[in-house]
Structure 1
Protein backbone atom coordinates (compact mmCIF):
# COMPACT_ATOMS: atom_id res chain seq x y z
CA UNK A 1 0.00 0.00 0.00
CA UNK A 2 2.83 2.37 0.90
CA UNK A 3 4.49 1.70 -2.48
CA UNK A 4 1.23 2.47 -4.32
CA UNK A 5 0.84 5.69 -2.37
CA UNK A 6 4.39 6.71 -3.24
CA UNK A 7 3.75 6.02 -6.93
CA UNK A 8 0.59 8.12 -6.85
CA UNK A 9 2.47 10.96 -5.22
CA UNK A 10 5.15 10.78 -7.91
CA UNK A 11 2.55 10.71 -10.70
CA UNK A 12 0.70 13.71 -9.28
CA UNK A 13 3.99 15.55 -8.87
CA UNK A 14 4.95 14.85 -12.48
CA UNK A 15 1.52 15.97 -13.66
CA UNK A 16 1.89 19.14 -11.66
CA UNK A 17 5.31 19.82 -13.10
CA UNK A 18 3.97 19.21 -16.61
CA UNK A 19 1.10 21.63 -15.98
CA UNK A 20 3.50 24.26 -14.67
CA UNK A 21 5.75 23.73 -17.66
CA UNK A 22 2.88 24.10 -20.14
CA UNK A 23 1.65 27.18 -18.32
CA UNK A 24 5.11 28.70 -18.56
CA UNK A 25 5.24 27.97 -22.30
CA UNK A 26 1.83 29.56 -22.82
CA UNK A 27 2.91 32.63 -20.87
CA UNK A 28 6.00 33.20 -23.00
CA UNK A 29 5.70 36.71 -24.51
CA UNK A 30 5.11 37.25 -28.23
CA UNK A 31 7.95 39.39 -29.55
CA UNK A 32 7.04 42.01 -32.15
CA UNK A 33 9.70 42.42 -34.86
CA UNK A 34 10.77 45.90 -35.93
CA UNK A 35 9.21 47.31 -39.12
CA UNK A 36 10.54 45.70 -42.31
CA UNK A 37 11.11 48.53 -44.74
CA UNK A 38 11.12 46.57 -47.99
CA UNK A 39 7.64 45.17 -47.40
CA UNK A 40 6.16 48.39 -46.03
CA UNK A 41 7.64 50.52 -48.83
CA UNK A 42 6.44 48.02 -51.42
CA UNK A 43 2.91 48.08 -50.02
CA UNK A 44 2.86 51.87 -50.36
CA UNK A 45 3.60 51.51 -54.08
CA UNK A 46 0.27 49.78 -54.72
CA UNK A 47 -1.93 52.28 -56.54
CA UNK A 48 -5.29 52.77 -54.74
CA UNK A 49 -6.92 54.31 -57.82
CA UNK A 50 -10.16 52.60 -58.78
CA UNK A 51 -10.43 50.68 -55.50
CA UNK A 52 -14.07 49.47 -55.33
CA UNK A 53 -16.23 49.74 -52.24
CA UNK A 54 -16.53 46.61 -50.16
CA UNK A 55 -19.25 44.06 -50.86
CA UNK A 56 -20.22 41.54 -48.20
CA UNK A 57 -21.59 38.03 -47.96
CA UNK A 58 -22.79 36.08 -44.96
CA UNK A 59 -20.75 33.02 -44.02
CA UNK A 60 -22.39 29.92 -42.58
CA UNK A 61 -21.67 31.05 -39.00
CA UNK A 62 -23.59 34.28 -39.59
CA UNK A 63 -20.51 36.52 -39.88
CA UNK A 64 -20.50 39.07 -42.68
CA UNK A 65 -17.25 38.85 -44.67
CA UNK A 66 -15.92 41.42 -47.13
CA UNK A 67 -14.64 41.37 -50.69
CA UNK A 68 -14.21 43.76 -53.63
CA UNK A 69 -15.69 43.10 -57.08
CA UNK A 70 -13.94 44.10 -60.29
CA UNK A 71 -16.35 43.26 -63.12
CA UNK A 72 -14.77 42.56 -66.49
CA UNK A 73 -15.41 45.23 -69.15
CA UNK A 74 -18.72 44.97 -70.97
CA UNK A 75 -18.57 42.30 -73.62
CA UNK A 76 -15.64 40.43 -72.06
CA UNK A 77 -15.85 36.75 -71.15
CA UNK A 78 -17.18 35.27 -67.92
CA UNK A 79 -13.82 34.54 -66.32
CA UNK A 80 -13.32 35.57 -62.70
CA UNK A 81 -10.06 35.42 -60.74
CA UNK A 82 -10.37 35.18 -56.94
CA UNK A 83 -7.47 37.10 -55.37
CA UNK A 84 -5.90 36.18 -52.03
CA UNK A 85 -3.73 38.73 -50.20
CA UNK A 86 -0.57 37.99 -48.25
CA UNK A 87 -0.07 37.75 -44.49
CA UNK A 88 -1.18 40.84 -42.56
CA UNK A 89 -2.80 42.24 -45.73
CA UNK A 90 -6.30 42.71 -47.09
CA UNK A 91 -8.13 42.97 -50.40
CA UNK A 92 -6.74 46.44 -51.21
CA UNK A 93 -3.29 44.83 -51.54
CA UNK A 94 -4.52 43.16 -54.74
CA UNK A 95 -5.97 46.31 -56.33
CA UNK A 96 -3.30 46.79 -59.01
CA UNK A 97 -3.48 43.13 -59.99
CA UNK A 98 -7.29 43.20 -60.13
CA UNK A 99 -7.33 46.30 -62.32
CA UNK A 100 -4.70 44.78 -64.60
CA UNK A 101 -6.81 41.66 -65.00
CA UNK A 102 -9.90 43.74 -65.83
CA UNK A 103 -7.95 45.59 -68.49
CA UNK A 104 -7.17 42.17 -69.98
CA UNK A 105 -10.85 41.16 -69.96
CA UNK A 106 -10.74 39.03 -66.78
CA UNK A 107 -13.03 39.89 -63.89
CA UNK A 108 -11.68 39.74 -60.35
CA UNK A 109 -12.84 39.37 -56.77
CA UNK A 110 -10.35 40.45 -54.09
CA UNK A 111 -11.15 38.92 -50.71
CA UNK A 112 -10.70 40.15 -47.15
CA UNK A 113 -10.10 36.71 -45.66
CA UNK A 114 -11.51 36.23 -42.17
CA UNK A 115 -9.29 37.91 -39.59
CA UNK A 116 -8.15 40.54 -42.10
CA UNK A 117 -9.50 43.86 -43.28
CA UNK A 118 -13.25 44.13 -42.72
CA UNK A 119 -13.87 40.39 -42.26
CA UNK A 120 -14.55 39.09 -38.77
CA UNK A 121 -12.36 39.74 -35.74
CA UNK A 122 -9.00 41.14 -36.79
CA UNK A 123 -6.25 38.56 -36.28
CA UNK A 124 -8.50 35.63 -35.36
CA UNK A 125 -10.72 32.84 -36.68
CA UNK A 126 -13.15 30.68 -34.72
CA UNK A 127 -11.33 27.44 -35.53
CA UNK A 128 -8.50 26.11 -37.66
CA UNK A 129 -9.88 25.38 -41.10
CA UNK A 130 -12.63 28.00 -40.97
CA UNK A 131 -11.22 29.74 -44.06
CA UNK A 132 -12.11 26.70 -46.15
CA UNK A 133 -15.73 26.96 -45.02
CA UNK A 134 -15.74 30.71 -45.69
CA UNK A 135 -14.23 30.25 -49.13
CA UNK A 136 -16.80 27.61 -50.03
CA UNK A 137 -19.53 30.06 -48.99
CA UNK A 138 -18.00 32.79 -51.15
CA UNK A 139 -17.82 30.48 -54.16
CA UNK A 140 -21.50 29.62 -53.64
CA UNK A 141 -22.30 33.35 -53.49
CA UNK A 142 -20.48 33.99 -56.78
CA UNK A 143 -22.04 30.95 -58.43
CA UNK A 144 -25.49 32.21 -57.49
CA UNK A 145 -24.73 35.42 -59.40
CA UNK A 146 -23.02 33.79 -62.36
CA UNK A 147 -23.44 30.00 -62.58
CA UNK A 148 -21.37 29.74 -65.76
CA UNK A 149 -18.35 31.74 -64.62
CA UNK A 150 -14.92 30.12 -65.01
CA UNK A 151 -12.98 30.61 -61.80
CA UNK A 152 -9.24 31.01 -61.33
CA UNK A 153 -7.21 31.63 -58.17
CA UNK A 154 -4.39 34.14 -57.73
CA UNK A 155 -2.70 34.33 -54.33
CA UNK A 156 0.32 36.24 -53.03
CA UNK A 157 2.72 34.94 -50.36
CA UNK A 158 0.58 33.41 -47.57
CA UNK A 159 -2.39 33.79 -49.92
CA UNK A 160 -0.44 31.70 -52.41
CA UNK A 161 0.23 29.08 -49.76
CA UNK A 162 -3.47 29.03 -48.96
CA UNK A 163 -4.15 28.69 -52.69
CA UNK A 164 -2.14 25.46 -52.68
CA UNK A 165 -4.37 24.20 -49.85
CA UNK A 166 -7.43 25.01 -51.97
CA UNK A 167 -5.93 23.41 -55.09
CA UNK A 168 -5.25 20.13 -53.28
CA UNK A 169 -8.57 19.97 -51.47
CA UNK A 170 -12.24 19.55 -52.36
CA UNK A 171 -12.60 23.21 -53.38
CA UNK A 172 -9.93 22.79 -56.02
CA UNK A 173 -12.45 21.32 -58.45
CA UNK A 174 -14.15 24.72 -58.72
CA UNK A 175 -11.12 26.33 -60.38
CA UNK A 176 -9.69 26.22 -63.89
CA UNK A 177 -6.16 27.15 -62.79
CA UNK A 178 -4.06 28.54 -59.95
CA UNK A 179 -1.40 31.25 -60.09
CA UNK A 180 0.68 31.43 -56.92
CA UNK A 181 2.82 34.54 -56.43
CA UNK A 182 5.91 33.77 -54.32
CA UNK A 183 3.81 31.39 -52.21
CA UNK A 184 4.78 30.88 -48.59
CA UNK A 185 4.93 27.09 -48.29
CA UNK A 186 5.81 26.94 -44.59
CA UNK A 187 8.93 27.60 -42.54
CA UNK A 188 10.47 24.21 -43.40
CA UNK A 189 10.14 24.67 -47.18
CA UNK A 190 13.39 25.20 -49.08
CA UNK A 191 11.77 28.13 -50.89
CA UNK A 192 11.93 30.34 -47.77
CA UNK A 193 15.05 32.48 -47.44
CA UNK A 194 17.03 32.52 -44.21
CA UNK A 195 18.28 36.10 -44.59
CA UNK A 196 17.71 38.76 -41.93
CA UNK A 197 14.96 40.33 -44.06
CA UNK A 198 13.12 37.03 -44.44
CA UNK A 199 13.42 36.23 -40.75
CA UNK A 200 12.43 39.78 -39.86
CA UNK A 201 8.95 39.78 -41.41
CA UNK A 202 7.31 37.48 -38.87
CA UNK A 203 8.09 36.43 -35.32
CA UNK A 204 6.60 33.17 -34.07
CA UNK A 205 6.08 32.38 -30.39
CA UNK A 206 7.51 28.87 -30.60
CA UNK A 207 7.13 27.96 -26.88
CA UNK A 208 3.45 28.92 -26.98
CA UNK A 209 2.88 26.96 -30.20
CA UNK A 210 4.48 23.87 -28.63
CA UNK A 211 2.20 24.16 -25.60
CA UNK A 212 -0.90 24.65 -27.77
CA UNK A 213 -0.09 21.57 -29.83
CA UNK A 214 0.52 19.51 -26.68
CA UNK A 215 -2.76 20.62 -25.11
CA UNK A 216 -4.65 19.93 -28.34
CA UNK A 217 -3.64 16.28 -28.00
CA UNK A 218 -5.44 16.31 -24.65
CA UNK A 219 -8.57 17.81 -26.19
CA UNK A 220 -7.90 21.29 -24.78
CA UNK A 221 -8.34 23.86 -27.52
CA UNK A 222 -8.99 27.20 -25.79
CA UNK A 223 -5.30 28.27 -26.00
CA UNK A 224 -5.64 28.31 -29.80
CA UNK A 225 -7.24 31.75 -29.35
CA UNK A 226 -3.89 33.14 -28.16
CA UNK A 227 -1.67 35.16 -30.53
CA UNK A 228 1.35 33.22 -31.75
CA UNK A 229 2.59 35.22 -34.75
CA UNK A 230 3.53 38.92 -35.00
CA UNK A 231 4.40 40.77 -38.19
CA UNK A 232 6.87 43.57 -38.86
CA UNK A 233 4.15 46.00 -39.87
CA UNK A 234 5.18 48.96 -37.71
CA UNK A 235 3.32 50.66 -34.85
CA UNK A 236 1.43 53.17 -37.03
CA UNK A 237 -0.14 50.64 -39.37
CA UNK A 238 -2.22 48.68 -36.88
CA UNK A 239 -5.56 50.09 -38.07
CA UNK A 240 -4.75 49.22 -41.69
CA UNK A 241 -3.25 45.74 -41.37
CA UNK A 242 -3.45 42.60 -39.24
CA UNK A 243 -0.34 42.74 -37.09
CA UNK A 244 -0.83 39.46 -35.17
CA UNK A 245 -2.34 36.03 -35.78
CA UNK A 246 -3.85 33.68 -33.25
CA UNK A 247 -2.89 30.03 -33.56
CA UNK A 248 -6.16 29.12 -35.22
CA UNK A 249 -5.83 31.88 -37.81
CA UNK A 250 -2.22 30.92 -38.49
CA UNK A 251 -3.26 27.28 -38.98
CA UNK A 252 -6.25 28.19 -41.16
CA UNK A 253 -4.67 30.64 -43.63
CA UNK A 254 -1.65 28.55 -44.56
CA UNK A 255 -0.20 26.07 -47.01
CA UNK A 256 -0.69 22.34 -46.30
CA UNK A 257 1.92 20.76 -44.04
CA UNK A 258 2.99 18.44 -46.87
CA UNK A 259 3.32 21.04 -49.61
CA UNK A 260 5.06 18.66 -52.00
CA UNK A 261 2.21 16.13 -51.87
CA UNK A 262 -0.29 18.98 -52.26
CA UNK A 263 1.14 19.95 -55.63
CA UNK A 264 0.58 16.37 -56.75
CA UNK A 265 -3.04 16.43 -55.56
CA UNK A 266 -3.92 19.71 -57.26
CA UNK A 267 -7.17 19.58 -59.24
CA UNK A 268 -6.06 22.14 -61.86
CA UNK A 269 -2.81 23.47 -63.40
CA UNK A 270 -0.62 25.57 -61.12
CA UNK A 271 1.90 28.20 -62.14
CA UNK A 272 4.25 29.85 -59.67
CA UNK A 273 5.52 33.37 -60.35
CA UNK A 274 8.27 34.93 -58.26
CA UNK A 275 10.46 38.00 -58.45
CA UNK A 276 14.12 37.23 -58.98
CA UNK A 277 14.96 39.83 -56.29
CA UNK A 278 12.50 38.50 -53.71
CA UNK A 279 13.96 39.14 -50.27
CA UNK A 280 11.64 36.74 -48.42
CA UNK A 281 11.45 33.77 -50.80
CA UNK A 282 14.22 31.96 -52.66
CA UNK A 283 13.12 32.33 -56.26
CA UNK A 284 15.75 29.97 -57.62
CA UNK A 285 14.52 27.33 -55.18
CA UNK A 286 11.00 27.55 -56.62
CA UNK A 287 12.36 26.57 -60.01
CA UNK A 288 14.63 23.90 -58.55
CA UNK A 289 12.07 22.06 -56.41
CA UNK A 290 8.80 22.67 -58.26
CA UNK A 291 9.78 22.11 -61.89
CA UNK A 292 10.35 18.36 -61.28
CA UNK A 293 6.78 18.25 -59.92
CA UNK A 294 5.43 19.51 -63.22
CA UNK A 295 4.79 23.03 -61.95
CA UNK A 296 5.57 25.86 -64.33
CA UNK A 297 7.75 28.50 -62.64
CA UNK A 298 8.26 32.02 -63.99
CA UNK A 299 10.92 34.31 -62.52
CA UNK A 300 10.73 38.06 -63.16
CA UNK A 301 14.05 39.95 -63.12
CA UNK A 302 14.30 43.01 -60.90
CA UNK A 303 11.10 42.34 -58.92
CA UNK A 304 11.01 41.83 -55.15
CA UNK A 305 8.37 40.29 -52.89
CA UNK A 306 5.83 43.13 -52.84
CA UNK A 307 6.68 44.14 -56.39
CA UNK A 308 4.63 41.16 -57.54
CA UNK A 309 1.54 43.12 -56.45
CA UNK A 310 2.17 46.30 -58.43
CA UNK A 311 4.98 46.09 -60.98
CA UNK A 312 3.63 46.06 -64.54
CA UNK A 313 5.92 43.24 -65.64
CA UNK A 314 4.51 41.12 -62.80
CA UNK A 315 0.91 41.91 -63.75
CA UNK A 316 1.64 41.02 -67.38
CA UNK A 317 3.05 37.67 -66.22
CA UNK A 318 -0.08 36.99 -64.15
CA UNK A 319 -2.34 37.75 -67.12
CA UNK A 320 -0.22 35.49 -69.33
CA UNK A 321 -0.43 32.67 -66.76
CA UNK A 322 -4.22 32.94 -66.64
CA UNK A 323 -4.39 32.88 -70.43
CA UNK A 324 -1.98 29.95 -70.82
Structure 2
Protein backbone atom coordinates (compact mmCIF):
# COMPACT_ATOMS: atom_id res chain seq x y z
CA UNK A 1 0.00 0.00 0.00
CA UNK A 2 1.36 3.38 -1.01
CA UNK A 3 0.24 6.92 -0.22
CA UNK A 4 1.25 10.44 -1.10
CA UNK A 5 0.13 13.45 0.94
CA UNK A 6 -0.92 16.79 -0.52
CA UNK A 7 -0.50 20.19 1.15
CA UNK A 8 -3.94 20.03 2.77
CA UNK A 9 -3.02 16.82 4.60
CA UNK A 10 -5.10 14.52 2.36
CA UNK A 11 -3.52 11.05 1.99
CA UNK A 12 -3.93 9.70 -1.54
CA UNK A 13 -3.71 5.94 -2.09
CA UNK A 14 -1.96 4.50 -5.13
CA UNK A 15 -1.05 0.99 -6.25
CA UNK A 16 2.45 0.32 -7.59
CA UNK A 17 3.34 -2.29 -10.23
CA UNK A 18 7.14 -2.31 -10.41
CA UNK A 19 9.12 -3.01 -13.57
CA UNK A 20 12.47 -4.58 -12.77
CA UNK A 21 14.60 -3.41 -15.69
CA UNK A 22 12.92 -0.18 -16.83
CA UNK A 23 13.34 3.28 -15.34
CA UNK A 24 10.25 4.59 -17.10
CA UNK A 25 7.08 5.40 -15.16
CA UNK A 26 3.43 5.31 -16.20
CA UNK A 27 0.71 7.03 -14.21
CA UNK A 28 -2.59 5.34 -15.08
CA UNK A 29 -5.86 7.09 -14.13
CA UNK A 30 -9.16 5.31 -13.51
CA UNK A 31 -12.64 5.99 -14.90
CA UNK A 32 -15.63 7.91 -13.63
CA UNK A 33 -17.02 5.43 -11.08
CA UNK A 34 -14.30 2.87 -10.34
CA UNK A 35 -11.12 3.16 -8.35
CA UNK A 36 -7.67 1.79 -9.28
CA UNK A 37 -8.49 -1.92 -8.93
CA UNK A 38 -9.94 -2.71 -12.36
CA UNK A 39 -6.81 -1.35 -14.05
CA UNK A 40 -4.71 -4.23 -12.70
CA UNK A 41 -4.64 -6.28 -15.95
CA UNK A 42 -3.17 -3.42 -17.98
CA UNK A 43 -0.87 -2.21 -15.21
CA UNK A 44 0.47 -5.73 -14.62
CA UNK A 45 0.98 -6.31 -18.35
CA UNK A 46 3.05 -3.13 -18.76
CA UNK A 47 5.12 -3.75 -15.63
CA UNK A 48 5.81 -7.46 -16.21
CA UNK A 49 7.12 -6.71 -19.69
CA UNK A 50 9.41 -4.05 -18.23
CA UNK A 51 7.91 -1.30 -20.35
CA UNK A 52 7.41 0.91 -17.28
CA UNK A 53 6.64 0.87 -13.59
CA UNK A 54 2.93 1.65 -13.33
CA UNK A 55 1.29 3.74 -10.62
CA UNK A 56 -2.51 3.70 -10.34
CA UNK A 57 -3.69 6.43 -7.93
CA UNK A 58 -7.20 6.80 -6.57
CA UNK A 59 -8.22 10.35 -7.40
CA UNK A 60 -9.75 12.49 -4.67
CA UNK A 61 -13.41 11.52 -4.27
CA UNK A 62 -12.70 7.85 -5.02
CA UNK A 63 -11.47 4.69 -3.35
CA UNK A 64 -11.63 2.93 -0.02
CA UNK A 65 -9.62 5.61 1.81
CA UNK A 66 -11.68 8.58 0.66
CA UNK A 67 -13.59 10.42 3.43
CA UNK A 68 -15.91 12.26 1.01
CA UNK A 69 -16.68 9.90 -1.85
CA UNK A 70 -18.18 11.44 -4.98
CA UNK A 71 -17.14 15.01 -4.22
CA UNK A 72 -14.12 17.32 -4.17
CA UNK A 73 -13.64 20.87 -2.90
CA UNK A 74 -13.46 22.69 -6.25
CA UNK A 75 -13.29 22.08 -9.99
CA UNK A 76 -9.74 21.21 -11.00
CA UNK A 77 -8.61 19.91 -7.61
CA UNK A 78 -7.42 16.68 -9.24
CA UNK A 79 -4.88 18.63 -11.28
CA UNK A 80 -3.58 20.33 -8.13
CA UNK A 81 -3.31 16.97 -6.36
CA UNK A 82 -1.52 15.32 -9.26
CA UNK A 83 0.84 18.25 -9.66
CA UNK A 84 2.19 17.60 -6.17
CA UNK A 85 2.43 13.85 -6.83
CA UNK A 86 4.16 14.25 -10.18
CA UNK A 87 6.54 16.97 -8.97
CA UNK A 88 7.81 14.65 -6.25
CA UNK A 89 8.10 11.72 -8.65
CA UNK A 90 10.14 13.81 -11.07
CA UNK A 91 12.53 14.75 -8.27
CA UNK A 92 12.91 11.11 -7.23
CA UNK A 93 13.26 9.76 -10.79
CA UNK A 94 15.19 12.38 -12.72
CA UNK A 95 16.39 9.97 -15.40
CA UNK A 96 12.98 8.44 -16.08
CA UNK A 97 10.63 9.00 -18.99
CA UNK A 98 7.01 9.52 -17.94
CA UNK A 99 3.79 8.28 -19.52
CA UNK A 100 0.38 9.66 -18.56
CA UNK A 101 -2.49 7.27 -19.29
CA UNK A 102 -6.18 7.19 -18.50
CA UNK A 103 -9.21 5.04 -19.18
CA UNK A 104 -12.64 6.55 -19.85
CA UNK A 105 -12.93 9.61 -17.57
CA UNK A 106 -9.26 8.97 -16.78
CA UNK A 107 -8.65 9.82 -20.42
CA UNK A 108 -10.61 13.00 -19.88
CA UNK A 109 -8.33 13.77 -16.95
CA UNK A 110 -5.30 13.22 -19.19
CA UNK A 111 -6.72 15.71 -21.68
CA UNK A 112 -7.28 18.25 -18.90
CA UNK A 113 -3.71 17.79 -17.65
CA UNK A 114 -2.37 18.17 -21.19
CA UNK A 115 -3.49 21.81 -21.06
CA UNK A 116 -1.50 22.63 -17.92
CA UNK A 117 2.19 23.10 -17.20
CA UNK A 118 2.16 19.43 -16.11
CA UNK A 119 2.17 18.42 -19.77
CA UNK A 120 5.89 19.14 -19.90
CA UNK A 121 6.49 16.44 -17.28
CA UNK A 122 5.35 13.70 -19.69
CA UNK A 123 6.84 12.15 -22.80
CA UNK A 124 3.79 10.17 -23.98
CA UNK A 125 0.02 10.22 -23.52
CA UNK A 126 -2.26 7.19 -23.65
CA UNK A 127 -6.03 7.66 -24.05
CA UNK A 128 -8.04 4.48 -23.45
CA UNK A 129 -11.66 4.80 -24.65
CA UNK A 130 -11.53 8.35 -23.28
CA UNK A 131 -14.34 10.61 -22.15
CA UNK A 132 -13.84 13.66 -24.37
CA UNK A 133 -16.74 15.80 -23.10
CA UNK A 134 -20.38 15.11 -22.27
CA UNK A 135 -21.33 17.13 -25.37
CA UNK A 136 -18.81 15.54 -27.75
CA UNK A 137 -19.95 13.34 -30.67
CA UNK A 138 -18.37 10.36 -28.89
CA UNK A 139 -21.25 10.40 -26.36
CA UNK A 140 -24.33 8.62 -27.80
CA UNK A 141 -27.36 10.82 -28.45
CA UNK A 142 -29.77 8.12 -27.33
CA UNK A 143 -30.53 7.75 -23.62
CA UNK A 144 -28.24 4.77 -22.95
CA UNK A 145 -25.02 4.07 -21.07
CA UNK A 146 -23.08 7.19 -20.17
CA UNK A 147 -25.83 9.49 -21.44
CA UNK A 148 -28.42 7.92 -19.13
CA UNK A 149 -26.20 8.50 -16.08
CA UNK A 150 -26.21 12.28 -16.59
CA UNK A 151 -28.91 13.97 -14.52
CA UNK A 152 -31.20 16.67 -15.84
CA UNK A 153 -29.84 19.34 -13.51
CA UNK A 154 -26.41 19.35 -15.18
CA UNK A 155 -27.40 21.99 -17.74
CA UNK A 156 -28.80 24.39 -15.16
CA UNK A 157 -25.73 24.14 -12.90
CA UNK A 158 -23.46 24.55 -15.92
CA UNK A 159 -25.36 27.72 -16.86
CA UNK A 160 -24.93 29.09 -13.34
CA UNK A 161 -21.19 28.42 -13.45
CA UNK A 162 -20.92 30.37 -16.69
CA UNK A 163 -22.17 33.32 -14.60
CA UNK A 164 -19.63 32.49 -11.85
CA UNK A 165 -22.39 31.22 -9.55
CA UNK A 166 -21.04 28.10 -7.82
CA UNK A 167 -23.47 27.65 -4.91
CA UNK A 168 -24.93 24.45 -6.42
CA UNK A 169 -21.66 22.78 -7.36
CA UNK A 170 -22.09 20.17 -4.63
CA UNK A 171 -25.30 18.87 -6.24
CA UNK A 172 -25.30 15.37 -7.77
CA UNK A 173 -25.25 15.48 -11.59
CA UNK A 174 -24.09 11.94 -12.46
CA UNK A 175 -25.34 8.60 -11.11
CA UNK A 176 -23.91 5.34 -12.34
CA UNK A 177 -26.60 2.96 -13.58
CA UNK A 178 -24.80 -0.22 -12.52
CA UNK A 179 -27.34 -2.64 -10.95
CA UNK A 180 -26.89 -3.08 -7.22
CA UNK A 181 -26.41 -6.84 -7.50
CA UNK A 182 -23.37 -6.26 -9.74
CA UNK A 183 -21.67 -3.69 -7.51
CA UNK A 184 -18.58 -4.63 -5.48
CA UNK A 185 -18.85 -1.79 -2.97
CA UNK A 186 -15.82 0.29 -3.94
CA UNK A 187 -17.52 2.24 -6.71
CA UNK A 188 -18.24 5.94 -6.61
CA UNK A 189 -21.84 5.83 -7.79
CA UNK A 190 -22.92 9.49 -7.44
CA UNK A 191 -20.80 12.47 -8.49
CA UNK A 192 -21.16 16.13 -7.61
CA UNK A 193 -20.99 18.73 -10.35
CA UNK A 194 -17.55 19.89 -9.25
CA UNK A 195 -16.14 16.36 -9.43
CA UNK A 196 -17.89 15.51 -12.71
CA UNK A 197 -16.70 18.74 -14.32
CA UNK A 198 -13.14 17.87 -13.30
CA UNK A 199 -13.09 14.71 -15.44
CA UNK A 200 -13.08 16.23 -18.94
CA UNK A 201 -11.65 19.30 -20.72
CA UNK A 202 -13.85 22.40 -21.02
CA UNK A 203 -13.07 23.34 -24.63
CA UNK A 204 -12.33 19.90 -25.96
CA UNK A 205 -11.72 20.86 -29.60
CA UNK A 206 -8.97 23.28 -28.56
CA UNK A 207 -7.55 20.64 -26.22
CA UNK A 208 -7.38 18.09 -29.02
CA UNK A 209 -5.80 20.58 -31.41
CA UNK A 210 -3.15 21.54 -28.86
CA UNK A 211 -1.94 18.01 -28.01
CA UNK A 212 1.76 18.08 -28.79
CA UNK A 213 3.14 14.85 -27.30
CA UNK A 214 3.06 11.43 -29.00
CA UNK A 215 -0.38 10.05 -28.11
CA UNK A 216 -2.20 6.78 -28.63
CA UNK A 217 -5.99 6.79 -28.54
CA UNK A 218 -7.31 3.24 -28.47
CA UNK A 219 -10.89 2.03 -28.11
CA UNK A 220 -13.01 -1.03 -28.87
CA UNK A 221 -15.49 -1.06 -31.71
CA UNK A 222 -18.07 -2.64 -29.36
CA UNK A 223 -17.75 0.16 -26.79
CA UNK A 224 -21.18 0.45 -25.15
CA UNK A 225 -20.47 3.79 -23.43
CA UNK A 226 -19.02 5.89 -26.24
CA UNK A 227 -19.25 5.99 -30.05
CA UNK A 228 -15.91 4.48 -31.06
CA UNK A 229 -16.20 5.52 -34.71
CA UNK A 230 -16.40 9.20 -33.65
CA UNK A 231 -12.87 9.29 -32.22
CA UNK A 232 -10.92 9.33 -35.47
CA UNK A 233 -12.72 12.33 -37.03
CA UNK A 234 -12.07 14.33 -33.86
CA UNK A 235 -8.32 13.62 -33.81
CA UNK A 236 -7.49 13.14 -37.48
CA UNK A 237 -5.94 16.60 -37.95
CA UNK A 238 -3.48 16.22 -35.08
CA UNK A 239 -0.26 14.56 -36.32
CA UNK A 240 0.81 13.60 -32.80
CA UNK A 241 -2.17 11.27 -32.24
CA UNK A 242 -2.50 7.66 -33.42
CA UNK A 243 -6.08 6.38 -33.29
CA UNK A 244 -6.72 2.63 -33.17
CA UNK A 245 -10.18 1.06 -33.00
CA UNK A 246 -10.08 -2.67 -32.24
CA UNK A 247 -12.71 -5.21 -33.28
CA UNK A 248 -14.75 -7.22 -30.76
CA UNK A 249 -13.70 -5.23 -27.68
CA UNK A 250 -16.02 -3.24 -25.40
CA UNK A 251 -15.46 -0.28 -23.09
CA UNK A 252 -13.75 -2.04 -20.17
CA UNK A 253 -12.20 -4.66 -22.42
CA UNK A 254 -9.75 -2.08 -23.71
CA UNK A 255 -7.88 -2.36 -20.37
CA UNK A 256 -8.16 -6.14 -19.97
CA UNK A 257 -8.48 -7.90 -23.36
CA UNK A 258 -5.17 -9.54 -24.32
CA UNK A 259 -5.37 -8.21 -27.87
CA UNK A 260 -5.74 -4.65 -26.60
CA UNK A 261 -2.94 -5.08 -24.05
CA UNK A 262 -0.59 -6.36 -26.75
CA UNK A 263 -1.34 -3.43 -29.06
CA UNK A 264 -0.87 -0.92 -26.23
CA UNK A 265 2.38 -2.53 -25.11
CA UNK A 266 3.80 -2.64 -28.64
CA UNK A 267 2.93 1.01 -29.30
CA UNK A 268 4.57 2.09 -26.05
CA UNK A 269 7.72 0.10 -26.76
CA UNK A 270 7.98 1.43 -30.32
CA UNK A 271 7.25 5.03 -29.42
CA UNK A 272 9.11 5.60 -26.19
CA UNK A 273 12.48 4.86 -27.78
CA UNK A 274 11.88 7.82 -30.10
CA UNK A 275 11.39 10.43 -27.36
TM-score calculated relative to the size of structure 1: 0.77
- Equivalent position of 2:74 in the other structure: 127
- Equivalent position of 2:189 in the other structure: 243
CA distance in 2, matches of 1:219, 1:264: 27
SS of alignment partner, residue 293 of structure 1: coil
Cα 1:287–1:212, aligned 2, differ >3 Å: closer, same or farther? closer
CA distance in 1, matches of 2:210, 2:180: 41
User: Once superposed, which parts of structure 1, at least 4 consecutive aligned residues long, lie more than 6 Å away?
Assistant: none
> Quick check: 2:129–2:251 contact (8 Å CA) kept in 1?
yes
> Quick check: 2:146–2:226 contact (8 Å CA) kept in 1?
no
Cα 1:234–1:144, aligned 2, differ >3 Å: closer, same or farther? farther
Q: What's the CA shift for 1:271?
A: 1.3
- Equivalent position of 1:7 in the other structure: none
Cα 1:297–1:213, aligned 2, differ >3 Å: closer, same or farther? closer
Equivalent runs, 1:307-318 vs 2, <5 Å: 307-318=253-264
- Equivalent position of 2:267 in the other structure: 321
SS of alignment partner, residue 231 of structure 2: helix
TM-score calculated relative to the size of structure 2: 0.90
Equivalent runs, 1:209-220 vs 2, <5 Å: 209-216=154-161, 220=165
- Equivalent position of 1:96 in the other structure: 41
Cα 1:98–1:217, aligned 2, differ >3 Å: closer, same or farther? closer
> Quick check: 2:111–2:200 contact (8 Å CA) kept in 1?
yes
CA distance in 2, matches of 1:144, 1:219: 37
SS of alignment partner, residue 221 of structure 1: coil
- Equivalent position of 2:89 in the other structure: 142
Bigger Cα Rg: 1
Q: What's the CA shift for 1:266?
A: 2.2
Q: What's the CA shift for 1:284?
A: 1.7
- Equivalent position of 1:260 in the other structure: 205
1:76-114: CA deviation from partner (whole Å, max 9, x where unpaired): 121111001111011112111110001221210001011
> Quick check: 2:173–2:193 contact (8 Å CA) kept in 1?
yes
Greater helix proportion: 1
Q: Where do 5+ consecutive residues of structure 1 fail to align? A: 1-53
Cα 1:276–1:215, aligned 2, differ >3 Å: closer, same or farther? closer
- Equivalent position of 2:23 in the other structure: 78
Q: What's the CA shift for 1:143?
A: 2.4
Cα 1:270–1:99, aligned 2, differ >3 Å: closer, same or farther? same
Alignment length, in residue pairs?
266
CA distance in 2, matches of 1:262, 1:126: 24
> Quick check: 1:83–1:155 contact (8 Å CA) kept in 2?
yes
- Equivalent position of 1:183 in the other structure: 130
Q: 212, 225, 231: which is aligned to 2:170?
A: 225
Q: What's the CA shift for 1:216?
A: 4.1
Cα 1:119–1:284, aligned 2, differ >3 Å: closer, same or farther? same
